[in-house]
Amino acid sequence: MRNAFIEELVYLAHQHPHIALIVGDLGYSVVEPFADSFPDRFINAGVAEQNMTGLAAGMASEGYHVFTYSIANFPTFRCAEQIRNDIDYHQLPVTVVSVGGGLAYGALGYSHHAVQDYALMRSFPNMLIAAPGDPMEVRACMRYLIQNPQPSYLRLGKAGEPCFHTQVPTIHPGRWLSVIQAKEAIEKPSTFLTTGATLAIAAEWLKNTPYKNHSVHSLPLWGMSNKSMQAAQFHPFSAVESVEDHLMDGGFGSWLMESVVTHKESLTKLDIYSLSADVCNLVGSQTLLNQYGGLVPKKK
């Protein structure tokens, strides 16, 4: 995903001279194509994420669309006040980019576990979360954000994620994106609804007998302002099972639950796959921690 991000950023920056990138002394071997092509629009702010975010807000107030880039929790929790007061409150076109969402950096421990970031970022009223499920969705999110500048949070995986789309899809905030159709046509199918890199996990679960007739949908763009759109999208399905690499508290499934809490018919269809808080104390590979944390098919 991160390679698709920088390729798309360079492509868009050639067309839009107001795009800038600020990094927190991270991203080596990834960000060089942008830095080499646009040295006057690239800044390494050093290990100073609060300053990086304030600088991004100042540049955005002068007409730039700024992307800040760092690993997991560093561009989010470490500078939450600056995101809240400088970017979201003033509705500035700054995209906070977090690479290694979920447990992608699980081997580095809790300091690098990005399993509470949705909870933080979705609490800001003007923030749009962009959580692409594959490299093509990364490109789609980038194009949408440039065409619709606003406070945004782009949550990327790390590298090597499979591609499920043959071309860049058209996406809209709050609208579910069909990725895999159910094998058999039935009146009320079930679907997995994913956000972020858990798209690959849901696709893998389709190989299990209880889920062989599920479809898979992705929701790459969502936030506080998109809740009213969710209940109607539940109607075609007998069950909607959300999948996320985040703790349940404050996560994507909780956001869905809040969205349909007054719609009993939709609420009863929802089942949530998320991570147990037990992973917060553990160090290990992403695959191992996802499994330990509960991202495994439920017995039916």
In order of their start, the domains of the chain are: 2-156 (3.40.50.970), 177-292 (3.40.50.920)
C-beta of residue 93 within 8 angstroms of C-beta of residue 60: yes
Query: 135-147 and 2-15 are packed helices; what angle lies between their axes, rounded to 10 degrees?
Result: 30
Model pLDDT for residues 187-231, shown as the tens digit of each residue: 788 999 999 999 999 999 998 878 888 999 999 999 999 999 999
**What secondary structure letter does DSSP report for 235?**
T
C-alpha distance from residue 265 to each of 149, 230, 234, 235, 253 (Å):
35, 12, 9, 8, 16
Of the candidates 173, 153, 142, 170, the one whose C-alpha atom is nearest the C-alpha of residue 259 is 173
Span 142-192, pLDDT tens digits: 999 999 999 999 999 988 889 999 999 999 999 999 999 987 777 788 999
User: What confidence tens digit (pLDDT) does each residue in 42-98 have?
Assistant: 999 999 999 999 999 999 999 999 999 999 899 999 999 999 999 999 999 999 999
How many of the other CB atoms lie within 10 Å of CB of 288?
15
Distance, CA of 24 to chain centre: 20
- Return the pLDDT at 212: 80
Q: Tokens 């500078």 correspond to what residue?
A: 79
Give the pLDDT of residue 184.
76
Determine the pLDDT at residue 208: 82
Q: What is the mean pLDDT of residues 100-117?
A: 95
Tokens at residue 180, please? 């895999």
- For the chain, the straight-line distance linking the first and the last C-alpha, in angstroms and rounded, comes to 33
Name the phi and psi angles at 83, rounded to 5: -65, -45
CA–CA distances in Å: residue 175 to residues 127, 220, 228, 299: 16, 8, 11, 29
**Contact by Cβ (8 Å): 141, 220:** yes
Which pLDDT does position 108 carry in this prediction? 94
The DSSP code sequence of 193-212 is EE-GGGHHHHHHHTTSGGGT
Rg of the chain, C-alpha, whole Å: 19
Contact (CB, 8 A) for 76 and 117: yes
How much is the pLDDT for 299? 64
Q: What percentage of the chain's residues is helix, strand, coil (to nearest 5)?
A: 40, 20, 40
Predicted model pTM: 0.96
